[in-house]
Chain A
Amino acid sequence: MRAWRNGLWWSFASLVVAFMLSPIVILMVFAFNRGELLSFPMTGFSFRWFADVFTRPEFVAAFENSLIVSTTVGMTATVVGTMAAMGLARLRVSISAGIMTALTVPLMVPPLMLGVMLLSYYTQWLGLRLGLSTVIISHLVFTQPFVILIVSSRMAAFDFAVVDSARDLGASSLRTFFTITLPIIASSILGAALIAMAMSMDDFLVTFFTIGGGNTLPTYMWGMLRRGVDPSINVVAVLLMLFSISASLIGFRITRYGK
């Protein structure tokens, strides 16, 4: 009876794992398929679609834009978010929790609505020209809460005695931060930066409404999707997936989230 029930649990979990992983595995397989058709049976292994996509100037431009946006967003969100987490550390919980909840409200708004809201705000009220800079500032809205949450949860387990000793011995608060606090929490900050980058790289909806003309990888892929079947879509999808998965995995690993 017990073994039977255990078997049921394991088959349920295996089904869920298969469900979660199959689209990713199938995508990887098809990106290296030689043929044009996306169906079984396969027709052989090849890198031809990878080579093909890198000869397209629009793809290369979108790729560059994605790198510019995600690194700028990753760095800015990390600095700003870490500063906020430091400002919130050691405050009374009732105060810090209140501020933190307020700062994470943007995560409660669906990305589509965040996108159209910012579009109206930029173009109708502020009269800004849309471009990469509007994309970058828009991404800060939903990436900085993650940095604040990750760094704050690290600070909750931080031993402030070392900071107090340094301060008692006469180090300035800035010096204390760079020589004591930063080296101790560096891995959490790096992890937060990678997760912010992955989120920025992956975002389609907010980018779509705030970019105006150009493309990032997701909006370029959107254009391809709307035009119809083209085996290079697989390559763009695989590249996007590899970038965001590897960045977030390393991020989760070094912040020890899964433990």
Chain B
Amino acid sequence: MMPFTRLRALMLAPSSAIFAVLFMMPLGYFFVLSFWRVRAYRLRPDATITQYLAVFRDYSKPMVFTFILAFTIAVVTTLVAFGYSYFCRFKAGRHGTLFVFVAVLTLFGGYLAKIYMWKIILGSSGILNTALIWLGIIDKPITVFLFSPIAVLITLVHYTLPLAILPIYGALRGVEDTPLQAARDLGAHPTRVLFDIVMPQIRLGMISSFSMTFIFCAGDYVTPLLLGGPHTSMIGIFIQSQFGLRVNAPLGAAMSFSVIALCLMLIAVVGLAVIRIFRARP
């Protein structure tokens, strides 16, 4: 082990400067801003919780809706990601790496491009409908796909799935075969092997996949705006509009901090529950 020398401090300086000046200071300013108010289109320094009260008075409906939808998406994504990673690790044999590669392939490749593609696929004269009509399965286009929470769910599960697969697969790679085999040889039921041996070892990977997905979805605004239609009023749309048309940065800041605080609280609850349920049993 090496001591923390002046050279080390120097090496860490640029990163720390970026972190401090471009992240901590903006975050601090934004937090202070959430206690200000806007009068006659100008920011007035203040120390009021008006904005937070406004968030819970006027925006509780989109807030609740956002959290329910984001939670659903995060649960679906984490479960599918778990199934897929489990398949890659234990069931795919030597093709496992190839299947992981597919997930890595779709990891990047355009946030907007993916949203746009789902719009093209799900639209009433879109690919899914025209293909289904062409094949003679349906004779009228199905209109419920696009401009509904379902479209947002499909698109965001698609976007977050590769992000969620990597931590879970990473955790599953660390699970050794021998104890599993031993448990099976001693007559343990497959579900017991899964819940008592595999899950305790990968619970942190599951939690990190869930948290990433949940935070991303709770803060997204492009997907609900382009695909959600009038009944998918997610909080991101309202946050964005405080910095566009409505010019009320303090309210936007208060909304952002409310979303982040609620996200962290929910993740803490889910995380603790997962850790308790899937603890290693003697």
Contacts and interface: CB of A to CB of B under 8 A. Distances in A.
A91 B2 contact: yes
A87 interface: yes
A40 B105 contact: no
A209 B109 CA distance: 21
B167 to A, nearest CB: 12
Nearest to B211: A108
Interface in A24-70: 24, 26-27, 30, 38-41
A185 interface: no
A249 to B, nearest CB: 7
**Chain A contact surface mostly:** helix
A92 B4 CA distance: 9
A222 B222 CA distance: 10
Given A20-B162, A248-B107, A258-B104, A233 B215 contact: no
B171 to A, nearest CB: 15
Interface stretch (B120-128, B178-186, B194-202, B274-282): B120-128
B65 interface: no
B19 A103 contact: yes
Interface in A115-139: 116-121, 124-125, 137-138
A205 B16 CA distance: 24
B18 to A, nearest CB: 5
Interface residues of B, number: 81
A137 B11 contact: no
B174 interface: no
A245 interface: yes
Interface string B224-255: 00100000000010011011000001001100
Given A26-B120, A86-B11, A245 B105 contact: yes
Interface in A234-259: 237-238, 240-241, 244-245, 247-249, 252, 257-259
B1 A91 contact: yes
A61 B8 CA distance: 41
Interface stretch (B47-55, B56-64, B95-103): B95-103
Nearest to A124: B43
B84 A13 contact: yes
A9 B91 contact: yes
Interface in B1-29: 1-2, 4, 7-12, 14-16, 18-19, 22-23, 25-27, 29
A166 interface: no
A21 B25 contact: no
A238 B91 CA distance: 33
Interface string A197-209: 0110011110001
A191 B36 CA distance: 44
B30 to A, nearest CB: 4
Contacts of A106: 19, 23
B153 interface: no
Nearest to B88: A13
Contact of B18 (A23, A80, A202, A240): A80
Contacts of A19: 158, 161
Contact of A99 (B12, B80, B239): B12
Given A13-B87, A144-B18, A237-B116, A20 B158 contact: yes
Given A16-B80, A90-B2, A221-B113, A209 B101 contact: no
15 contacts: A16-B80, A17-B102, A20-B161, A20-B162, A23-B117, A26-B117, A40-B130, A80-B14, A83-B12, A109-B27, A109-B215, A117-B253, A118-B22, A203-B111, A204-B222
